Chains A and B, each alone.
Chain A
Amino acid sequence: MRIALTGNPNSGKTTLFNAITGKIEHVGNWPGVTIAKQEGDIKKSLYRGVEIIRVVDLPGAYSISPFSSEESITRDFVLNEKPDVIINIVDATNLSRSLFFTTQLLELGIPVVVALNKSDLLESKNIKIDLDELSKRLSCPVVKTSSTENMGLAELLKTAANRSGDEQTAPFKSKPFAVKDQESAEKIERERFVFVEELVREVENRTVASHKQTRQDAIDRIVANKILGIPIFAAVIYVIFSLSQTYVGPLLADILVGWIDALYEFAAELMGGDLSPVLSSLFLDGIIGGVGAVMGFLPLIMVLFFMLALLEDSGYMARVAMVMDRYLKKVGLSGKSIIPMVIGTGCAIPGVMATRTIRDDRQRRTTAMLTPFMPCGAKLPIIALFAGVFFGDAAWVGTSMYFVAIAIIIIGALMVRKITGESSSPAYFIMELPEYRLPSIKRALVSMFSRAKAFIVKAATIILVCNAAVHIMQTFDWNFQVVEEGMEGTSILAGIAGPFALLFIPLGFGVWQLAAAAITGFIAKENVVGTLAVVYGITNFIDTEEFELISGAGDVATVMGLTSVAALAYLMFNLFTPPCFAAIGAMNAEMDSKKWLWAGIGFQFGVGYTVAYFVYQAGTLITTGSFGSGVIPGLVAILVFVAVIASLIRSKEQKSENRIKEAV
């Protein structure tokens, strides 16, 4: 049996879905978190029937006629796939709008059960709802639930299971009309609203009108203030990143790295001298060393995800969109573009997918193209590594990377607008404002651990395989002979990465080791740190002092042979080039245009190269008084990039000029 979960955005569908299936899908307190359907089977503890019940969680919709693309997923599913039962999740604190959609669902002939969700909030809001009357009027069962408090879920499922195969009569029946007839369609929907209003008047008893000024408005007046809005947002972001990167994160990372080191020692002892040196080195340096280097940064990422989950749960995200709207509109984006970017600081993939709620094609595609510039959780280890090794753990390195990202996004958006031209119609901004609530520590912990698990799984699969491959390619030369010490340049890895390294000479890091790390970074950004660990034989990146003691050969910086300027250039190159393949896949899906995808990837490469070039050359000029190597070829490459963009802008301008001439 299949049950579909439908309802208005932010009515708590996914929270209910997680509660009844035990899954951990992404939830957040703003409309439009779920952008694709998700399926799961009901937990045995909630339903004791013989049949397995499959639940389908659908994106929120305000009505059966879709406005944005994720709403059409919902419409298509209930109309075409004919679920056995529909559970309509209704926000109990907002009946008058929610029931509009309910009456549309009731017309489909599929049995409906209404879940009166957020019922736990009714008392504090002084709202009383006559359940029996509502059920009678809608001619379908109504169950009070609260998905956050696990209230009424078993009853809801039992009621829903019993309704399978039932007939459903519609309390409000729309008369048939010609499809194209806009006027009569509107008239019917108006009557529907009148019907709902009468119904609500009968069943609901509200003492406080919802439009009265509340504490919520008081918070809004500060948080979305004309002057204070942006500084507050900047402060919130700063707190999140400094906690994860500078304060709490590294503290926990130190402990974890100690364990990883112990594991390394233990494994080395266990193997003793029985294994061949090639195999034991593959196991110790390639796998434990490489994966361990990545795993060491797990606490930083966990702290980041924990903080982001708190932020998403609070209801603040919709306000950020509102505050940023006027600024982002100036560069041709939408206020909603900020949400993918904030999510993108955790991981670019859900970030890019979150662009789906942006209705304007150009705004959506531009946002999908620019979101990956925000340093994601997987890039955090790279930032932390370089800040620690080359800049004495300076907090400004990490924070400034986010500001550079924002600057690139603004410039990029302006360029895209120049190339594609102004939209002909204004892209209106409208977003429902959810209520603020105290973020739940429990939900944030659940989200943190589920994402930590995903990180560990990734480290134990993709990252492990990549590191092993890198280690093997580094150990052997093209004749499959073990490379002798001092002859590392003859290895397979050096052979493959060498040609790429030539391209990086103008950027200050034209050596094959660094090129190899940048290349493996496209598979997953965590690989950058892992590969560096393998190719330089470093196992501990967090505690560099300890590293000095072990090796006695100076510090990591010396091993890598980079000046701090070149290191900064390398860091920025890795942050601002195209994201990992998985994120590029997400870009492809959301842009829905090969032209945009390739233009986006090309733009990301160009930006990464240009930024690294200027950081290295200008920095070297300032610190040493002369340019770094390869200044001319690098400049030529960048001029080509600039010329391409300039010609695109010019051809657009000419086109629009011609259009004006024609019009005249």
Chain B
Amino acid sequence: MDLALANKLFKRSPAVKGFELCKEGKINLTDAKINIPYMIKEINTGDQAIKDFLFTLGCYEGETVMVISALAQNLVIHVKGARYSIDDDLARAIVI
């Protein structure tokens, strides 16, 4: 049905995820554990404007990001001393 559901189903099956990891070699913010700082490896979005906007917030390659909580399919993330709510589409675009 929707992507989030598919994502959840994939998460339940470690074999599939392992396969994904081997193939892609990268995970994104939706895979992040809560309260663990991660380094951003890549912002993978076709939308340059949102990439630039994330940049002005201090969310760019090499910076640290932390997921504070996952609520209602949106993530609360912490970047440079501020909290933001982002949706899972955007979370998926942030490769860590």
Question: Which residues in A have some Cβ–Cβ distance to B below 8 Å?
Answer: 62-63, 65, 67, 93-97, 100-101, 186, 189-190, 193, 210-211, 213, 217, 220-221, 224-226, 229, 318-319, 321-323, 325-326, 329-330, 335, 359, 425-426, 428-433
Contact = CB atoms under 8 A, between A and B. Distances in A.
Nearest to B89: A426
Given A62-B53, A329-B87, A432 B47 contact: no
Nearest to A200: B81
Contact of A430 (B72, B73, B90): B90
The B interface, classified by DSSP as helix, strand, loop or mixed, is mixed
A186 B55 contact: yes
B96 interface: no
A330 B2 CA distance: 9
A429 B87 contact: yes
Given A97-B57, A210-B78, A432-B83, A221 B90 contact: no
B84 A433 contact: yes
Contact of A96 (B47, B58, B69, B74): B58
Contacts of B9: none
Contacts of A94: 80-82
Interface residues of B, number: 36
Nearest to A10: B82
B80 A96 contact: yes
Interface in B66-92: 66, 68-69, 71-74, 76, 78, 80-87, 89-90
Interface of B: 2, 4, 35, 45-47, 49-50, 52-58, 60, 66, 68-69, 71-74, 76, 78, 80-87, 89-90, 93
B68 A213 contact: yes
Closest 3 CB pairs of A and B: A63-B56, A429-B87, A224-B71
A433 B56 contact: no
Given A190-B60, A429-B86, A430-B90, A220 B71 contact: yes
A220 B76 contact: yes
B82 to A, nearest CB: 5
A330 B52 CA distance: 26
Given A217-B68, A221-B69, A326 B83 contact: no
B81 A226 contact: no
Nearest to A204: B81
Determine which residue in A67, A190, A226, A428 has the highest number of CB atoms from chain B within 10 A of its CB, and name it: A428
B56 A431 contact: no
Contacts of B87: 325-326, 329, 335, 428-430
A95 B81 CA distance: 8
Contacts of A431: 84-85
Contact of B45 (A193, A329, A428): A428
A67 B59 CA distance: 15
B96 to A, nearest CB: 15
Given A213-B68, A425-B46, A430-B90, A326 B82 contact: no
Contacts of B35: 211, 213
A322 B90 contact: no
B80 A430 contact: no
A97 B87 CA distance: 21
A425 B73 CA distance: 19
